[in-house]
Amino acid sequence: MPPVLAYWAIRGLAQPIRLLLAYTQTEYEDKRYVVGPGYDKSCWFDVKYSLGLDFPNLPYYIDGDVKLTQSNAILRYIAGKHNLIGTNDNERIRVDLMENEVGDFRNDWVRLCYSPNFDNLKGDYIKNLPLKLSEFSKYLGDNKWLAGENISFVDFIFYEMLDQHMILLPDCLDSFPNLKLYCDRVRLLDSIKTYMSGSDFITRPLNNPHAGFK
C-alpha cells in the first residue's frame, strides 16, 4: 500500500510535504479532511485516536509500520530516504538553521493569518516584511538552494512561505531578485511543474475557514 499523508483540505502545514513528495515522485494517498458547516471538524476528531498515532495530530504520515505526526518530522523522514537533508556537514548545518529560521517566519505568518484582527495587523506586518526578506536574500546569496548547490527539504518549506506571501503581496520580492529566481527555480523543476499543473495541486485556500486570510 502507498503511504498516506493526511491533512485538512488546505495548503497549510502539508503543502511543503506534498511538494517534497511530488519532487521525489513518491506515490501516496493525499487524504484531505474537510471542515464542515459551523467549522465542524468532526471528520477528523471522530477518527483522531483510532489510527495508532503516538501524538495524534494533523498532518500525519503513515508508511507501513511508520506512523508520524509533526510536519518537520515527516519532511525529514521522507527527505532521509532521498538524501535531501544535506550532503555534507556544511550543508546539514545550513539545513538545520533554515529549518528553524523559516519555521519562525512561518509562525509569525500563521499568527497573522489566523488573527481575527488580520485587517488591522497586516499593515505593520507588511511594513516589517522587507527586513526579514533581506535577511533571507543575503543568506541565499548566489547559491541555487538554501543548503548551497544541492536541494534539500527546507527548500520546499521556504518556497511555500514565499509563495504564500506573494498571494497577499504580489510584489514583495521585487527588491530581491535572487529570491524571485529561487522561486522560479523551484517551479521549473520537472516533477514540481507537473504537480502544479495537475488537478491535485491546491492554489487556495491557504488556511482553514476561520482564518482572517485564506
Residue-wise pLDDT tens digits, 38-92: 889 999 999 999 999 999 999 999 999 999 999 999 999 999 999 999 999 999 9
pLDDT > 90: what percent of the chain? 99
Q: What is the pLDDT of residues 136-147, one digit of tens each?
A: 999 999 999 999
For residues 147 and 177, what is the distance between their CA atoms, to the nearest angstrom? 18
Three-class secondary structure assignment of 77-143: HHHHHCCCCCCCHHHHHHHHHHHHHHHHHHHHHHHHHCCCCHHHHHHHHHHHHHHHHHHHHHHHCCC
Reported as a single tens digit per residue, the pLDDT across 11-41 is: 999 999 999 999 999 999 999 999 999 889 9
Domain 89-189 indexed as CATH 3.40.50.720: no
Q: pLDDT tens, 103-133?
A: 999 999 999 999 999 999 999 999 999 999 9
- Residue 6 has, within 13 A of its CA and on its CB side, a CA count of 20
pTM of the full structure = 0.97
Q: Does domain 4-83 have CATH number 3.90.550.10?
A: no
Cell 525529514 found at: 76
> Where does CATH 1.20.1050.130 sit in the chain?
4-83
For cell 495548503, the residue is: 11
For position 70, what pLDDT does the model report?
98
Q: List the grid coordinates of 134.
A: 533581506
Where in the chain do CATH 1.20.1050.10 domains reside?
89-189
